[in-house]
Amino acid sequence: MPARALRSRRAAPSGDARERIERTAYQLFSQHGIQAVGVDTLASRAGVAKMTLYRHYPSKGDLALAFLRRREELWTRTWLAHAIRDRTRKPAERLLGIFDLFDGWFRKADYEACSFLKTLLEHSDPKDRVRLATLGHIQVIRALISELAAEAGVRNPERFALQWQMLMMGCIVAAYAGERDAARRAREVGRLLLQHEARRA
């Protein structure tokens, strides 16, 4: 998973305060959400003074934006996109494979749900820059689904991508609520949707 992928990277030099701040923010924001983590905690866990943190990130919002960019890099682009295409050459099975990946994710002891969803729920102001950035990252995932849907012969890839992403989001929340079989159940629904929407096998 992305949080562990980040921890498994080669440790940054002790003098690289910015990297330590970003790494700490990634771990804490992934686990607890952005709102629940204070600047004092971030600075303490990163081993830097608050003034050092603010020198690199003038506000917590700036650090939140950096976190979302890294989350997209690790979760969406490095893990999800690559894992989907590595599983199979069959376009339709790539879409269904998302739920197979989710099933393994949901069963991890440190499953932390989707940071994009948690951030979206924490930032309700439609003009909030963190919320807007989150919506942008969610759109990146939808574009990936639309691309896979077009390869699978779906009649309307954009509409399908919205429906598929709703199914993905729903099972992520259900798993966070304790339904560990959520991905398997979502896969069953997804197969029906795919059969209905595809113009060819």
Phi–psi pair at 198, nearest 5 degrees: -75, 140
Tally Cβ neighbours within 10 Å of residue 132.
13
Q: What pLDDT score was predicted for residue 87?
A: 87
Q: How far is CA 65 from the centre of its chain?
A: 14
Q: Residue 198 — very low, low, confident or very high, per pLDDT cuts 50/70/90?
A: confident
Whether the pLDDT of residue 90 is over 50: the answer is: yes
DSSP string, 49-67: -HHHHHHH-SSHHHHHHHH
Whether the pLDDT of residue 34 is over 90: the answer is: yes
Average pLDDT over residues 147-169: 96
Whether the pLDDT of residue 1 is over 80: the answer is: no
Residue 184 structure tokens: 């398997």
Print the domain residue range for 130: 2-197
- Alpha helices for 77-156 (secondary structure H): 82-87, 91-106, 115-122, 129-151
Distance between CA atoms of residues 167 and 169, nearest Å: 6
Give the CATH number for residue 181: 1.10.357.10
Whether the pLDDT of residue 200 is over 90: the answer is: no
What is the total count of domains within the chain? Answer: 1
Distance between CA atoms of residues 91 and 79, nearest Å: 18
Distance between CA atoms of residues 150 and 84, nearest Å: 15
Residue 11 structure tokens: 């440790």
Distance between CA atoms of residues 63 and 29, nearest Å: 10
In b/e form, how buried is each residue of 34-66, taking b as 16+ CB within 10 angstroms? beebeeeebbebbebeeebbbebbeebeebbbb
DSSP string, 162-174: HHHHHHHHHHHHH
Whether the pLDDT of residue 14 is over 70: the answer is: no
Distance between CA atoms of residues 120 and 82, nearest Å: 25
- Taking a C-beta distance cutoff of 8 angstroms, is the pair 46, 53 a contact? yes
Q: What pLDDT score was predicted for residue 15?
A: 54
